[in-house]
Structures are given as structure tokens and as C-alpha cells.
């Protein structure tokens, strides 16, 4: 009995001296740490790329906003210029009417030179011109006015009102956006009637038409000619502003 007890004690001591749990292999822990480090590196790289992309998107959006603002400002400037030009044209029409009336107001003649007209058709060209002008200023019948002025220059080619009629034609055709025809009418004034008081404005209007048509060099030439030949005119002031803007 004592021998069995000793044997059991020896076996128990052997079991106690043997480790119950083995430690985890060192190689497995190293692999797990390496994988975690690689994953963290990839996450950092993706985060950095996302940050860069977001910054680029913000920058591109900002540039698009700036371009949109510049485009709106350009459109606004064109609208302002159109309005200013229309206002100038309205003032010019009124001034031309006043000038025409002043130029055609009969002056007192010396007693020795007074004569009786032999024909009732002496002022026929004036009446025709007045009727055409009234279609513009009074009746606002611009299409009919174009026809009337075209008929006038054909029926009265030697009339002193022909330069004015040609200028009116240019104005009305330009209003209808018939720019090539308007240019031709203004060009007649500048080339055939150098003494006309409408010549400075005709030169300026040709410059405007050429600028809108994209012929910038020709526009500059007409603006410069307006400034050089009529330096004190309102047309020269407008031409100078347009020339500086080109």
C-alpha cells in the first residue's frame, strides 16, 4: 500500500513539473504585426490621395466660379455698352433734328436780291426729306423710314440732304442689325461727302460695325481716323474709349 502511494506521488510530481500550456510561436506574432503595419500604410496612402483629390476638386470649382463670374461681367459690360450706345444714338437723333431745322430755317434776304420762285417744286426735296425724318422721330415707323430714305437718295441725288439721308439709312439699318448694309450707307457719307457734319459719326459707326464683325484692325483704323480728323467731336471721345478697350 505504501509502495502504491509513492508511485502516485512520483507521477503527480512529473505532471506538475511539465508545462500545461505552450507559448504562442514567435513567428506568428511577427507576421500579424507586419500585416497590420502594411494595412495602416495603405490606409494612410488612400487618405492622402483622397485629401489631394478633394483639394483639386475645390480648386477646380473655384476656377470655374471665377470664370463664370468673369463671363457674367463681360456680358454685363456688353449690355451696358449697348445701352449707352442706344442712348447716344437717341441724343444724336434729337440733335440732328435740331441741326436740320436750324440749317433749313430761311434767313432774311437783302431787299435787292429777293425774287419770286418760278416753280412750286423748289422745296420738293426738303418736303420729302422731312417726311422721311418724321417717320423716324414722330411715327416710329422705322421700316417705312428706310424705304423713304432709299427713295429720297434716288429721287433727289443732288440734294443737300443726301448725306443726312444716307446717315439715317445707316442708323436705321444698324438698328435692324443689317450691319453690312448699314456700313455701306455710312461709307457713302465718309467717302462722298467729306464736308458733311455726319462724317465723324459715320466713321465711328463703321468702327463699331467692324469691331462687332471681328475685323479689329479695321475697327482700330476707323476709330483712329475719327480721333485724328475730328478731335473735338463727341464721336472722337467715344472712339478713344473703344480704341483703349481693344
Write down the pLDDT at residue 150: 93
Taking a C-beta distance cutoff of 8 angstroms, is the pair 169, 154 a contact? Answer: no
Write down the pLDDT at residue 199: 95
Whether this prediction's pTM lies above 0.85 is answered by no
Q: For residue range 170-210, what is the model confidence (pLDDT) as tens digits?
A: 999 999 999 999 999 999 999 999 999 999 999 999 999 99
| 107 phi and psi angles, rounded to 5 deg | -95, 155
Write down the pLDDT at residue 107: 38
Helix ranges (H only) for the chain are 2-17, 26-103, 124-137, 142-155, 162-175, 179-192, 199-212, 216-229, 234-245
Concatenating the DSSP letter of every residue in 183-237 gives HHHHHHHHHH-TT-TTHHHHHHHHHHHHHHTT-HHHHHHHHHHHHHH-TTSHHHH
* CATH superfamily, region 89-99+127-245: Tetratricopeptide repeat domain (1.25.40.10)
Give per-10-residue mean pLDDT for the chain (246 aa): 51 48 51 72 84 83 79 66 58 51 41 35 79 91 93 93 95 92 95 94 95 93 95 93 90
Domain map (residue ranges) of the chain: 89-99+127-245
Amino acid at each position: 500500500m505504501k509502495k502504491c502511494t509513492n508511485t502516485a506521488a512520483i507521477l503527480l510530481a512529473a505532471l506538475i513539473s511539465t508545462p500545461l500550456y505552450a507559448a504562442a510561436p514567435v513567428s506568428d506574432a511577427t507576421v500579424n504585426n507586419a500585416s497590420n503595419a502594411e494595412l495602416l500604410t495603405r490606409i494612410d496612402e488612400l487618405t492622402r490621395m483622397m485629401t489631394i483629390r478633394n483639394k483639386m476638386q475645390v480648386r477646380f470649382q473655384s476656377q470655374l466660379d471665377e470664370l463664370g463670374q468673369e463671363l457674367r461681367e463681360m456680358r454685363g459690360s456688353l449690355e451696358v455698352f449697348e445701352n449707352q450706345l442706344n442712348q447716344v444714338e437717341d441724343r444724336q437723333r434729337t440733335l440732328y433734328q435740331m441741326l436740320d431745322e436750324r440749317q433749313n430755317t430761311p434767313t432774311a434776304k437783302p431787299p435787292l436780291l429777293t425774287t419770286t420762285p418760278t416753280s412750286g417744286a423748289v422745296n420738293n426735296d426738303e418736303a420729302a426729306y422731312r417726311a422721311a425724318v418724321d417717320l423716324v422721330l414722330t411715327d416710329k415707323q422705322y421700316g417705312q423710314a428706310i424705304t423713304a430714305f432709299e427713295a429720297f437718295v434716288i429721287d433727289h441725288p443732288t440734294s443737300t440732304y443726301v448725306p443726312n439721308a444716307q446717315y439715317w439709312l445707316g442708323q436705321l439699318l444698324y438698328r435692324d442689325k443689317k450691319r453690312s448694309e448699314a456700313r455701306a450707307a455710312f461709307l457713302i457719307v465718309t467717302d462722298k461727302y467729306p464736308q458733311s457734319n455726319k462724317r465723324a459719326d459715320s466713321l465711328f459707326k463703321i468702327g463699331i460695325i467692324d469691331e462687332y464683325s471681328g475685323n479689329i484692325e479695321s475697327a482700330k483704323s476707323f476709330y483712329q481716323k475719327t480721333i485724328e480728323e475730328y478731335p473735338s467731336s463727341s464721336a472722337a471721345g467715344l472712339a478713344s474709349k473703344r480704341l483703349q478697350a481693344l
